Structure 1
Amino acid sequence: MKKQWYLPTPAFSKYVCYPEFLGHYSHFPQHTERRSEGFLGNYNLHLIFDGEGYVFHEGERIPMSRGRGFLYPKSAYQYYGSDPGKPWDVRWVHFSTEIVLPLLEEVDQSRAYLFTFDLEAKLDELFEEMYLLSASYVTRNEPRLSALLYELLVKLLQNSEPLHGSVPHEVRQSIPSAADIIHVECARPWSLESMARLTGYSSYHFLRLFRMVMGKTPNRYLTDCRLTRAKLLLVSTGLSIAQVATQSGFAQSSYFIKVFRKFEGVSPVKYRQAFGS
């Protein structure tokens, strides 16, 4: 099977990201590409759901099979292909962006990003919706196509690991679970060590993985959770500023006021005046 769609240049020119050429190949043993540097001026993402194949990267032939993928930056040299005897079931998209996205920052500094991804993350469902919208393209589909691609890239960031040095899926899943606990119990006196104990990682590896999966450090995430709770208390209760600070996890009201002003641009009192009932 070989299905592919070219999309016209979008009518609106400022989408965060937008698919230009996408498709789904299976039982297609002729699938192989070798592109010279500078030939393809957009990003090229492939996710492999079955079958076997390869990517040539830095002089090495690297096997690429179920649960693996690759993402090339713009204008990169590309050499990859499906095994004729066990061809890929692969979903792919060439796309452009208007801004630098988190996943692409690292890719732009490399020749290619090779990774493993979680097959249960339902990335194929995002592709399927993009296929349907592409097959019946009308201009009003453009915002949804852009949104689906953005969701795909964010989910891939959260559910993938570099091919070399990757960790098992069940281990990676402990990071979002720990984040949920921290969010609900943000008033606790958390330290990096106590947050890391939720996952069984050392503090060093927890910090690295949390930043990779959640897009921010554990301490920044904790601060954001505390500020979210504080804003809710400010607008929905008559608690004093000191009480709001305590119930949001800030040990001192003076520190709470300083942090609140830094991230929200106003003092807690002015925030309450502006948004409180």
Structure 2
Amino acid sequence: MKKHYVLPQPAYAHYVCYPEMLGHYTDFPQHAERRSEGFLGSYNLHMVFGGEGYVFQEGERISMKRGSGFLFPRGAYQQYGSDPGQAWNVRWVHFATALSLPMLEEADHSRGYFFTFDPGTGYEPVFEEMYRLSATYETRSEPRLSTLLYEILVTLMQNSEPLHGSVPLEIRHSIRLTADRIHSECERPWTLEAMARLAGYSSYHFLRLFRSIMGKTPNRYLSDCRMARAKLLLVSTELSVAQIALQCGFHQSSYFIKVFRQLEGLPPNQYRRLFSS
């Protein structure tokens, strides 16, 4: 199968990112590209969901299997293709962007970013919607195409690692599952030890991994989750401040009010008056 779409320049010139060309190749062992320096004026993202392929970088042949991919910056020399004996299942997109993302910056700096990702993180339905909109292109689809591409890039930022990264994807996945559990049960009396035990790591190791992957400490993440729930309950219910405190993991309303004021700059009742309708 060979899906290949080329989009016209968007009518609106200020999208933060926009696909120029995209496709999906399976059972296409002839797929191979070799582009000279300066030939392609857009970013080129390939993600492998099955089979095998390869990419060359500085004379080194890098194997590409399920869960691996590459991102070339604008104007970079490119050489890659499918394994003739086991054709890859690859989804790809050429795109323009004004975004400043670490992944894009790394590609610009090194002239090629090679990574691993979790194929089960939901990329394929997003690509499929992009293909559908591209096949029946209308100008009114442009905002959605830009949004879908942005979703792929940001999801990839959160769920990928450099090909020789220090944090394997299965560890990243387990930390995010733990974070989701903490978020959904933020009223529980979580301790660092309890959170680490849930993830299956020592407290020290969990703290280091969580900060690296989530960008904040577990306790700060827990506090942010509790504040988000508290603000929602304040503006959407008539529960008392004491009841909301209990539902957000605070057993003393006075402490809840103190923490809320420290983080939000005003007490809960004032927040409710300002933001509830």
Q: What TM-score results when the alignment is normalised by the length of structure 1?
A: 0.82
Q: Secondary structure at the match of 1:54?
A: strand
Question: Among 243, 260, 263, which residue is 1:259 paired with?
Answer: 263
The aligned counterpart of 1:223 is: 223
Question: What is the percent sequence identity of the aligned residues?
Answer: 65
The alignment of Structure 1 onto Structure 2 pairs a total of residues equal to 271
Deviation string, structure 1 residues 166-205 (Cα, Å, up to 9, x no partner)? 5254x44322321222113323454544423221134565
Q: Secondary structure at the match of 2:85?
A: coil
RMSD over aligned Cα, in angstroms? 3.0
Structure 1 counterpart of 2:260, one-letter code:
F
Whether contact under 8 Å (1:233, 1:239) holds in the other structure is no
Distance 2:83 2:44 in 1: 19
Structure 1 counterpart of 2:263, one-letter code:
V
Q: Where do 1:1-277 residues align within 5 Å? A: 1-101=1-101, 103-165=103-165, 167=168, 169=170, 171-203=171-203, 206-207=206-207, 209-210=209-210, 214=214, 217-235=217-235, 236-240=237-241, 244-245=244-245, 247-249=247-249, 252=255, 253-261=257-265, 266-276=266-276
State the shift of 1:116 in Å: 2.4
Please list every run of 5 or more consecutive structure 2 residues that lacks an aligned counterpart in the other structure.
none
Distance 2:205 2:106 in 1: 19
Please list every run of 5 or more consecutive structure 1 residues that lacks an aligned counterpart in the other structure.
none
Structure 2 counterpart of 1:257, one-letter code:
R
Quick one: structure 1 residues 90 and 215, their matched pair in 2 at CA, closer, same or farther if it must change by over 3 Å? Answer: farther
Distance 2:207 2:145 in 1: 34
Whether contact under 8 Å (2:106, 2:112) holds in the other structure is no
Distance 2:17 2:258 in 1: 42
Whether contact under 8 Å (2:160, 2:169) holds in the other structure is no
Tell me whether 120-129 or 105-114 shows the greater mean CA deviation.
105-114
Distance 1:225 1:108 in 2: 35
Whether contact under 8 Å (1:43, 1:95) holds in the other structure is yes
Structure 2 counterpart of 1:42, one-letter code:
S
Structure 2 counterpart of 1:66, one-letter code:
R
Structure 2 counterpart of 1:255, one-letter code:
V
Tell me whether 42-51 or 107-116 shows the greater mean CA deviation.
107-116
Quick one: structure 1 residues 107 and 11, their matched pair in 2 at CA, closer, same or farther if it must change by over 3 Å? Answer: same
State the shift of 1:108 in Å: 4.3
Distance 1:204 1:75 in 2: 44
Deviation string, structure 1 residues 73-97 (Cα, Å, up to 9, x no partner)? 3333322222233332211001122
